[in-house]
Amino acid sequence: MTKIYYPWFKREDIDGFFALFQNNLANFVLIAVVMISIGYPTSIVYGKVIPGAAISVLFGNLYYANMAKKLAIKENRTDVTALSYGISTPVMFIYLFGVLKPALDLTGNPEAAWKIGMAACLLGGLIEALGSVIGKWIHSHLPRASMLGTLAGVAFAFIGGELLFKTYEMPMIGLIVLAIILIGLIAKKPMPFKIPASLFAIIIGTVMAYTIGGVDSGQITEGLGTVGIYLPIPTLGFFQGFTYLTTTMAGLFAILLPISIYNFIETMNNVEAMAAAGDRYCVQEAQLADGLGTIVGAIFGGVFPTTVYIASIGSKWMNAGRGYSVINGFVFLVASTFGIIAAMSKIIPIAVIAPILVFVGISMVSQAFNSVEKRHFPAVVLAMLPYFANYIMTRFNGGAGEVVANLSSGIVPLGQGAMFTGLIWGAILVFIIDDEFHKAAYAALAGGILSATGFMHAPQLQFLFDYQYVVGYILMAVLFIGFSQYYKTLEVEEKVSE
């Protein structure tokens, strides 16, 4: 067999780079805006948090580029796409409003609150790494439709859906950029002068925004004013953060445990999505790498866990290799070190970035259906639905709680622990379709345990927050056992009658 050469870079990596960089940039823009708005100074946000996250992104992207090389050599093919790596959007929001804001409210000291965030991030990385121990068992026992359907729910609500809203905030700009993305990345048509579609869309959209879009040119000056030197420097401040986590902030463990478990299951889901697309990576190694990357980021001042990114499938669709991952890691480090991320966040309108993320949402939902048997399509849809409730809950329940409650009292509990709920219901329906009612009963019992401990249908880890959900899942398990026995009896009777 002729030994293949897996290239460091190919032309398709340019599109992959811009898609991944913009995904990460969008999250970092949100991080900067929210942290500053809740009281953190720019010295911490741009000088510590962003550089720390950039170190984590560099570590992860280099690691996954090496994993791609190993897979290419092992399978003797050159069309391997490296896993994307970045900050999970749902996890990011949990850390912003469930960790960083309470820490600042309690201490009144941004420096101390940042250290608490570092400690929480490091702890989350340790839990992620431990996921590599049990990840294989979970991966082998959860149906693909369950995992991919849950992931598609995140993509539909938080990525494709929400960023489509952002696209329409500046319709003259957003619609043109979205059209370019659809032509270049979905229909795979070449752009003028063979410019990568993502880059072409960003250039056209930004120029239009400052010419006919009404964007104030003062944003350019304001953005350039943020340029400076923000070196990533290791720190042991997380030790002081742990003193808070083990005393006055001990309640944060109820948030950190489930969201960290969510993170390593999200890694599992994303690796599974890539396997469905043709690149089968080791789930345990990916979960360990995510945990190590998060820990490295925390040591350098980061406060947000990182994970295999949902954009991996988008990169696979673009036929990217490993070069996009390597370039992204180094460019992001340079961009954070010299304040370019801060400047770009002010110069490039969100309506220009948003359509690229809409593409990622489209590719993820499409991949979920393309990767399962047709008879399991209903399970994919069912697994997606809890994230619809989660989106309404996280976006509107705080400022419009009465409106959400009047719409339905079931929205909030369904949205709490949506990832677990989607996995459970997706698995139940797959087992029902496959006439494996005993497995459906096990899945229902797992739902009962998760509900009883507060992982689902509860605002925090708490035993029997609402017993009705626990009873409901247990009764469902009894029902499935009854049907299992009933159909076995019918099968015996049919054989006897023959």
3-class DSSP state for residue 306?
Answer: strand
Residue 69 lies in a domain: yes
Question: Is the pLDDT score of 1 beyond 60?
Answer: no
> Pick from 67, 57, 64, 47: which is nearest to 21 by CA?
57
Is residue 157 over pLDDT 80? yes
Residue 257 lies in a domain: yes
Q: For residues 139 and 267, is the Cβ–Cβ distance under 8 A? A: no
Q: Does one domain contain both 356 and 385? A: no
In 3D space, the residue among 371, 324, 287 whose CA is nearest the CA of residue 21 turns out to be 324
d(CA 9, CA 321): 7
Least confident of 25-39, 384-398, 452-466: 25-39
Identify the DSSP state of 79. -
- Find, among 3, 55, 73, 26, the residue nearest to 322 by Cα: 73
With bands split at pLDDT 50, 70 and 90, how would you rate the model's confidence at 2? low
Asked if the model's pLDDT at residue 327 lies above 60, the reply is: yes
Q: How far is CA 298 from CA 125, 177, 325, 340, in A?
A: 9, 36, 21, 21
> Does the residue 6 lie in any domain?
no
Tell me, yes or no, whether 3 lies in a domain: no
Cα 399–chain centre separation: 24
Average pLDDT (165-194) is: 92
* Total domains, the chain: 2
Res. 310: pLDDT tops 80: no
- Regarding whether 448 and 362 lie in a shared domain, the answer is no
In a domain, 259, yes or no: yes
- Assess whether pLDDT exceeds 70 at residue 139: no
Higher pLDDT, 395 or 173: 173
Q: Are residues 221 and 146 in the same domain?
A: yes
Do 291 and 429 lie in a common domain? Answer: no
- Judge contact between 414 and 443, C-beta under 8 A: no
For residue 448, being part of any structural domain is answered with yes
Question: Looking at the structure, do residues 107 and 183 belong to the same domain, yes or no?
Answer: yes
Look at the block and give the residue holding tokens 């080791």.
Answer: 282
For residue 403, give every residue at least 6 positions away whose Cβ sits within 8 Å of its Cβ, in sequence order, or none: 396
Determine the Cα–Cα distance for residues 11 and 289; give it in Å rounded to an integer: 27
Q: What is the pTM of this model?
A: 0.75
The answer on 104 and 84 residing in a single domain is yes
Pair (122, 245) in one structural domain = yes
Torsional sign, CA 92, 93, 99, 103: positive
Same domain assignment for residues 367 and 388: no
Shared domain check, 446 and 428: yes
Q: In this structure, are 439 and 455 located in the same domain?
A: yes
User: Which of 372, 388, 421 is the last residue before a domain boundary?
Assistant: 372
pLDDT of residue 398: 66
Cα distance between residue 330 and residue 343, in whole Å: 18
Write down which residue in 317, 337, 372 finishes a domain.
Answer: 372
State mean pLDDT over 99-105: 86
Residue 2 resides in a domain: no
Other residues' Cβ atoms within 10 Å of the Cβ of residue 474: 18
Give the whole-angstrom CA distance, residue 251 versus residue 271: 32
Query: Are 175 and 224 members of one domain?
Result: yes
Residue ranges making up the domain that contains 477: 378-492
Residues 415-463 pLDDT 10s: 988 888 999 999 999 999 999 999 999 999 999 999 999 889 998 778 9
Nearest residue to 264 (alpha-carbon basis) of 274, 275, 272, 276: 272
pLDDT at 432: 97
For the chain, give the number of residues. 498
Residue range 194-248, pLDDT digits in tens = 787 888 998 899 999 999 988 888 888 888 888 889 889 999 888 888 888 877 7
The last residue of one of the domains, among 372, 392, 425, is 372
Q: Is the confidence at residue 497, as pLDDT, over 80? A: no
Q: Are residues 326 and 415 in the same domain?
A: no
Encoded tokens for 188: 């795979």
Please give the span between the terminal C-alpha atoms of the chain, in angstroms, as a whole number: 55
